[in-house]
Amino acid sequence: MAGGDDIAFVGMARQAEMVRDGEVSPTELVGSTLERIDRLDPELNAFRKVFADKAMLEAEQAEARRSAGDKRPLLGVPIAIKDEIDVTGEINLHGTDAFEVPAKADAEVVRRLREAGAIIVGLTLLPELAICGFTESATYGVTRNPWNRQRTPGGSSGGSAAAVAAGLVPIASAGDGAGSIRIPAACCGLFGIKATRGRVSLAPKLEGWRGMAVEGCVSRSVLDSALWLDIVSGGSTEAEAPAAPAKPFVESVKDSPGKLRVAWSTAAPRAILPATVTDEVKQTTEDAAAFLARLGHDVKQRDPDWGRVGDTLTARFLKGVAETVDEVPLPERLERRTRGFGKLGGLLPESLYEKAMANRPAEIARINSIFDDHDVLVMPVMGGTALPVRRWQGRGALATVLGMSRFYPYCVPWNHLGNPAMSIPFGFGTDGMPLAIQIIGRKESEPLLLSLAAQIEAERPWADQLPPIS
């Protein structure tokens, strides 16, 4: 067997292949994973809970199944689950201390992953109720970025991103209601794709954040995310759920995207305050456009017709957050700022929200008109590299919302509209932190996006770039 540190960064698909081929046993693989978590997580604070004994027992069972010829796609592979998804017998704490009842059954996503043979080694941290673009809470402290422990891994899936970036697990679940897959991926030099709304079932929930939230993962490679999507997709009851793809997503990774019509932009939707975007981020987006042109794509600068979508985004985000706060069984245990988020949404008249949502069909048509003449849109993920930890510590809900809306303006429109969008590593900033680009496609265009991402990955590989904590 290769040493534990040698296989920590090979990714989920390769680890599964190594188990199938007998290069590593499930007990060796899970054991090395748990050793890395025990050794490195005290510096990162990525996990809320680790299932060491249970994971080793499941690894022994996986070893017996492999010996009996079991060919499940993730047999014996260790994964982590964000602590907002139901895992049987565990209290789903959502980054808080405000819940007490254990889950009676696995969420649909977890059920599918277990059925594929994956072994859950732990639950990863998030900010309270997944509201913020950083992973810090009064209950669990600060989660740190493996590239620089004085920087945030982003949020809300910051624990998952920190764990994958540091090689604690090859892949981890992530949820995205306003950028919470793409922002942590960008902060930590990982790949993250937010699928089309309804691609992945949220069961037992019907929807999240009034239809804005989707479930996915953060990973080291395009192939890993495609394989994850193949395993967890389907079964959604949402009205906007797309049809199944014509072929597995892993097959799309092998396809050439062909010559694409590419639009690029650094223009952000209008908000209460103007976006704060560094020159370095703008230059990275322009450099990505030039790179795609060199690959043979037809590339043009064009801004989306944002209109006043910022008004709708504000109303929808705040109402979704307020609804989430209202559902907490022990709200007195929430942070003052979290309760403040709920109050902000409560102050917004329902009629104003309904009026904003009535504009959604027109906004979908207007903004998506960019895809009449272009296949994909390239833009930033966020306004700079990962922010310092405790950037908004001690600040109230309004100050935090305004600050986040200025630094993270590029992700939430695609939750509102339902389009698939992905964060792709694209070099490093002058501060040594990862940079990224965001690429958005039409609804149901995940096969095309994955194909393009794989083309970029082949020309500009990122997985061999490891953080110093690794």
Active site residues: 82, 156, 180
d(CA 423, CA 379): 10
d(CA 176, CA 183): 9
Q: Which residues pair with 49 in a beta bridge?
A: 123
CB 381, CB 437: distance < 8 Å: yes
CB 116, CB 158: distance < 8 Å: no
* Closest of 195, 182, 212 to residue 313, by C-alpha: 212
As a dihedral over the C-alpha atoms of residue 290, residue 294, residue 298, residue 304, rounded to 10 degrees, the angle is -20
Q: Which two tokens stand for residue 415?
A: 């939750």
